[in-house]
Structure 1
Amino acid sequence: MENPDYVVIGAGTAGCAIAARLSEDSRNKVVLLEAGGYDNHPYLHMPPGFLQALKNPDLTWQYLSESEPNLNNRTISLPRGKVLGGGSSINGMIHIRGNRWDFDRWRDEFDATGWGYDDVLPYFRKSENSWLGQGPFHGAGGPVQVNRVVNKDIFTAEIHAAAIALGYNTSNDYDGALNEGFAEAQVAIDSRGRRSSSARAYIRPNLNRPNLRVIDKATITRLVIENRRARAVEFVKDGQTFRHTANAEIILSAGAYNSPKILLLSGAGPAEELRAQGITPIIDLPGVGKNLQEHPRMPLQYAASGPFTFINQLRWDRAAISVLNWALFGKGPFASQVCSGILLLKTQPDIPAPDIQLLFTPTRIDANLWFPYFTKPQIHCFYTTVCQLRPYSRGEVTLRSANPAASPKIRLNLLSDARDYTVLRDGIRLARKLFATEPQKSLVKEEMLPGAHAQTDEQLNVSIRDLLGITHHPVGTCAMGQSNLSVVDPQLRVRGVEGLRVADASIMPTIVSANTNAASLMIGEKAADLIKST
C-alpha cells in the first residue's frame, strides 16, 4: 500500500483495535505493522494452551528482566506476544476492567481529561459482546466475546461459600455496580471455546478490506522524525529495509516494553541516555521508559485432601478426548479457563478500592499431562495467585544498545518500596483465612507454598523475596498526563512531536486494579475515536 494515511506499529491488543476502527472508513488507508507472525498455532486458540504458548519462542519474545536486587538477584521471565494479537493471543484470557476509582484517578491526579470512568465506560462497552447482554455496564455485538468460565467441578461453590462465611461481598459481575468481593471469572472466550483475541476479534474478519494492509515479521528500526514531526516508519522484513510514510499519523502501539524502545531508538527520550547509546537526541522526553509498573504476585499452594482436582483431566487419554471435544464441538474442560473464581479485597478498610486480587485454580500452575503406568500424576493441589493490584515500586525500560534487534533492558525494581511487602503480607494472610474456612478447609491438607513455617513478618518477607513473580501486566512507560515526565497528553499525542501518538498499556499513568487486557482494548477503542476527531 503506497502513501498510507495511518501507520499503526504493533498488532497487539490495542493496535488491532485501532487499525480495524480506522479502516472502517474506506477513505482511510491503514498499514498495520507486526514484528511477529500470524496467530495460527492451536496453542493460541485452545484456552489451556496459553501455558505452553508462553514457553514457545516461536510465539513469544522471551525477554528477561535485569537481576532484581530485592529478589535475591533473580531474573524474571517476561514473555510477550510474538504474533498477531500480541498479549491478547497468549494471555490467560481473564477479562476484567479495573475499579471505577482507577480511571477517575487518571483524570483527577494526572490531569488526564476525558479518561474518567464515565468517559471510558462507553469504550469498554463498545469493545465487547458480553454474556450479560446490552446494559448500563456492558455491550452486545462488539468484537470481543466475553463469557463466564463454564468449566464444572472446579470448586467454585466451595470458595464462594468460604468467602461468604468471611463476610465478603459477592457479585455476578465485577465489572458492574459491585467490584469488590467474590465473583466468577469472566473470560475472552467465545461460545465455541476459542480464545477471543484482539486479532480474531478485530483483524481477521476484516483482512479483505482493500484499505487495510497487515505486514507481519516487520522489525521496526526507527521512526523518521523531521522538524518535530513524525513522517515515516522504517522497518526490516525478509532482510530488506522498507519505509512507510504516513500522510496523517503514526500510532505506536508496541506495548510497555517496545513502545519506549522504539521512541528511544528514534531519538525521543532522556537526552543524556540517548547520547550514551550514540543516538542523537531529537526530542528530550525524560519520561520515556520510566514509571514501569507491574503486578507482583505471590503463590499460595495447598495440597488437596484427596485425588479430586483438575489434574485428573490431564491424564493423557482423557486429555486427548478433551482436545477432540474442543476441536469438534467447542465443549468440555479444554473449552474454557480453569479458574474457580476471583476475590477482590481491601487490605485496609479506608482505601478507595481493592488492592489485592485472589485468583483461584484447582490445580498447580505447572500442571502437565501424565501417563498411567509410565508417569505419576503431579500432586493434587489448589493454587491461588495473591496479586498486589497497586504496587508502589517503579521500574524502567532503557536501551541495551542502539541495535534495533537487541531486546530492551528491563528493570522491574520490584519491592524497591517497602510498602509493597506490607500489602503482600496482608494479602497472604487474608488468603490463608479463606483456606482455613469451611467448606474450603475440608478440601486441603497442608500449605505447600510459601509453607506454614512462614508466619512472622520477617519470615514472610523471606518467602516473598524467594517466590515473588509477576502477572505479566507491564504498563506506564509512556505515561499520559501533563507533567514534565508525561510522554503523551490526554489525546495520546507525543509531547513535542506532531503526527505521532502512543496507544497501548504504556500510556497508563498508574496500573489498573485488574488484569490489563480489557483496559488496553478500551485504550485502542478510545484512541481510534481521538484520531478520527482530529
Structure 2
Amino acid sequence: MFDFIIVGAGTAGCLLANRLSADPEKRVLLLEAGGKDDYHWIHIPVGYLHCIGNPRTDWLYQTEPEPGLNGRALRYPRGKVLGGCSSINGMIYMRGQSRDYEGWAAATGDPAWRWDACLPFFKQHENHWRLDQAAGASTQATAAFKAAHGHGGEWRIERQRLRWDVLDAFAQAAVQAGIPATEDFNAGNNEGVGYFEVNQRKGLRWNTAKAFLRPICYARPNFELWTGSTVQRLRLERIDGALHCLGAEVHTPRGIESVSLNPGGELLLAAGAIGSPQILQLSGIGPAALLQGLGIEVQQDLPGVGSNLQDHLQIRSVFKVEGTATLNTQSASLWGKAKIAAEYAFKRSGPMSMAPSQLGAFTRSSPDKTWPDLEYHVQPLSLEAFGEPLHRFNAITASVCNLNPSSRGTVQIRSDDPLQAPAIAPNYLSTDEDRRVAAASLRLTRKIIAQPAFAAYRPDEYKPGPQYQSDEELIAQAGQIASTIFHPVGTCKMGCEDDALAVVDSRLRVRGSNGVIKGLRVVDASVMPAITSGNTNSPTLMIAEKAAAWVLAGE
C-alpha cells in the first residue's frame, strides 16, 4: 500500500519522486521498466551513440512507414533506464518560447500555464553556471538574466567544454544572414544563434536520476524504487458512479504483483508520450472503437488518448568543407581516437564531452512570422543516417526543424499484450504548411552557407544536393533526408472540458464521465497540448514541478 505510485523513473518521474517523498508520512513507490543507470556510456556525453539502439537503455521503438518520408520507418528512441530520456538525450537545456505557454493557458483556460506562472517552476530546480559565485561567473550575469534563471537547484546547466572553428564560422554566417547572436536561448524569445548550454556537470551527463534520486531519495525510509518493473494495466473500479484508480498490476522480476493506493492516494503516470497512452489504453481508457476491436473492456471512452502526437522532424543538410578538420577525420585513425580519449580522461573536454549538437539557431521560415519557427542543430560531423559510421570526408551537418508542426499523429496499442510495442505513426509532413516550411528551411540553410563568413571552407552541398531547386523537389528530398529529433509530445493532451481530444484537465487529472477519474494523473510530455518551440526535456521537468506542488496541495 502506497500514498503515491509513480509509473516511470524518467525525466518527470524522478522529480516527482523527490518532491512527493519529502513528506516522511507519505509512502512513495517509483516503478521503472528499465534498469539502473550504471552503464558507463550513459554518463560520458558522447555515449548517447552507444545508448540509442541499445536494449539496455532504449525501448527500441520504430515508427510505422511514413508516407511523408517516402515510406521510410524511423528509429524512435525512448529511454528505458533510470533517468529515462534524460539518460540518452542530447542534454540541451531549452525551455521553448513564452508564446508556447500562453498557448497552453488559452487551450486549458487556466492562467497557471502562462509563461510568467511557469517561470518560477523552471527556476525552482535550476542550477545555472553563470550564477556560480566561486567561479566568478555571477559577474557575467545581468539583472535580467538573474531574474530569469535560478541557482542552487538540482538541475545543473553548464556551457559546453569545446568549440569548433567551423561552427564559429557558421554562427558568423548566420548573423550575416540576419540571425542575431545570443547568449541565452531561455529568456522567453529564443531567436538567435549561439552555442547550446547543456545538462552536464564537469563534463559528465547530468540525468534526472543523479539530480533528484541520488542520494536523497535513496536515504528516505518512505521511498521505494522497483526497477525492471513494467506496469501491465491500472486497477480501476467504479464507486458510486465514478471511476477510481486503486493501483496497478506490475510485472516484476518476482512475477506479477499488485500494488495499491491508500485512501486518498494517487497514481501518477510519467511513462512518456509513448508509454502513458499505451498504459491507459491497456487499462481500458482510450478510444472505444480501438479498445473494443482488441477485446479490451472500455472503462472510459477518451478519444484523445494516443491522438495529437507531435514531434520535431529535423531535415539534415550536409556540406563538405575544406581547410579544416571535422570529427569525421579527427576520429578516423587510432591515433586520433587516442588523442580524443586522452583529452577527455585528463580534462573532461573535447569531442567525448560533446552533446549531439553544439551550435543552435532559432529563426523564421518567412518574414511574416511573428516568432521564430525554425531551430537549427549544427554539428562538425556528418553521416548517412543516425547510427551509421561518419563520412570519410570533412563535413558539417546543419539540421533544421519546424518548431510548430501542424501534422498530428497517433500512438495505438496493437493488442492487449503490454509487452508488444504500440503502433507509432507521427504523420510527418502530412500538411501543406509543414511541407512549405520544409522547402523554405532548406533554402534558408543554403542562404546561411552562402554568406562570406563561411566562404573560406569552400562548402559543397552533399545532401540534399544543389540539383534540387523547386518546392516539389525540396519537399521530396526533405522526406528522404529528415529524421526525428526525438521530441514526441501531446498524446494525453490537457484541455478544456469542451475539447473532445483533451485527456487531462489543467491540473493533469484524467477526465472521466463525471468529472475526473479519482486518483489518476498524467505527468509527462504527453500532456502538452502543443509542442514547445525547442527541445522538450526541460519543459517536462517544469510540468512535473507544477504537478508535484498541486498533488501536495491537494489540488
- The 2-side partners of 1:415 and 1:157 are apart by 31
Secondary structure at 1:201 match in 2? helix
Give the distance between the partners of 2:335 and 2:466, measured in 1 at CA: 36
**Aligned partner of 1:305 among 318, 322, 327:** 322
Deviation at 1:80, TM superposition (A): 1.0
Preserved contact between residue 329 and residue 393 of structure 2 (Cα < 8 Å): no
Return the offset for 1:272. Answer: 1.7
What is the rounded CA distance, in whole Å, between the counterparts of 2:111 and 2:422 in structure 1? 31
Q: Which whole-Å CA distance do the structure 2 matches of 1:69 and 1:156 have between them? A: 34
Match of 1:531 in 2: 551
Q: Which amino acid is 1:417 matched to?
A: T
- Distance (whole Å) between structure 2 residues aligned to residue 444 and residue 21 of structure 1: 53
Comparing 178-187 with 42-51, which one deviates more in the overlay? Answer: 178-187
Distance 2:20 2:39 in 1: 27
* Superposed CA offset, 1:48-83 (max 9, x none): 111221121221111111111222221111121111
Alignment gaps of 5+ in structure 1: none
Q: Does 1:326 align with 2:326?
A: no
Give 1:324 shift.
4.6
- 1:108-507 aligned at under 5 Å gives the runs 108-133=106-131, 135-176=146-187, 178-190=189-201, 192-206=202-216, 207-227=218-238, 228-238=243-253, 240-247=255-262, 248-314=265-331, 315-327=333-345, 329-337=347-355, 339-365=357-383, 378-482=392-496, 483-496=499-512, 497-507=517-527
**Amino acid aligned to 1:429:** R
Indicate the SS of the match to 1:40. coil
CA distance in 1, matches of 2:410, 2:101: 23
Deviation at 1:169?
1.7
Deviation at 1:178, TM superposition (A): 4.5
Q: Counterpart of 1:63 in structure 2: which amino acid?
A: Y
Letter in 2 for 1:246: L
Q: 1:272 to 1:367 in 2, by over 3 A?
A: closer
How far does residue 464 in structure 1 lie from its aligned partner after superposition? 1.6
- Checking the alignment, whether the CA contact within 8 Å between 1:229 and 1:498 is kept in structure 2 is yes
What residue is the counterpart of 1:6 in the other structure? 4
Shift of residue 239 of structure 1?
5.5
Deviation string 1:194-232 (CA, Å, 9 cap, x unpaired) is 111111111122222211111001011100011101011
Measured after TM superposition, the shift of residue 124 of structure 1 is: 1.0
What residue is the counterpart of 2:35 in the other structure? Answer: 37
Amino-acid identity (%): 38
Work out which of the residue numbers 50, 53, 56 in structure 1 matches 2:54: 56
Please say if residues 167 and 380 of structure 2, whose CA atoms lie closer than 8 Å, have aligned partners that are also in contact: no
SS at match of 2:100: helix
Q: Aligned letter for 2:544? A: G
Structure 2 distance, partners of 1:327, 1:369, is 24
| SS across alignment from 1:246 | strand
**Pairwise CA distance, 1:526:** 1.1
- What is the Cα deviation at residue 154 of structure 1? 4.5
- Cα deviation code 1:61-106 (max 9, x no counterpart): 1111111122222111112111101111001111111011000011
Q: Match of 2:313, as an amino acid?
A: P
Return the TM-score normalized by structure 2.
0.91
Contact 1:112 1:481 in 2 (8 A): no
Residue identity opposite 2:315 in structure 1: M
- Kept in 1, the 8 Å contact 2:90–2:356? The answer is no
1:377 Cα deviation (Å)?
Answer: 7.0
Deviation at 1:366, TM superposition (A): 6.3
Deviates more, 1:224-233 or 1:320-329: 320-329
Quick check: 427-436 or 174-183, which moved more? Answer: 174-183
- Alpha-carbon distance in structure 2 between the residues aligned to 1:365 and 1:126: 39
Task: Summarize the Cα distance change of 1:376–1:242 in structure 2 as closer, same or farther, 3 Å threshold.
Answer: closer
Distance 2:350 2:319 in 1: 26
TM-score w.r.t. structure 1 length? 0.95
- Secondary structure of the corresponding residue to residue 205 of structure 2: coil
**Alignment check: 8 A CA contact 2:110 2:506 kept:** yes
Match of 1:511 in 2: 531
**CA RMSD in angstroms, aligned pairs only:** 2.0
SS state at 2:504 partner = coil
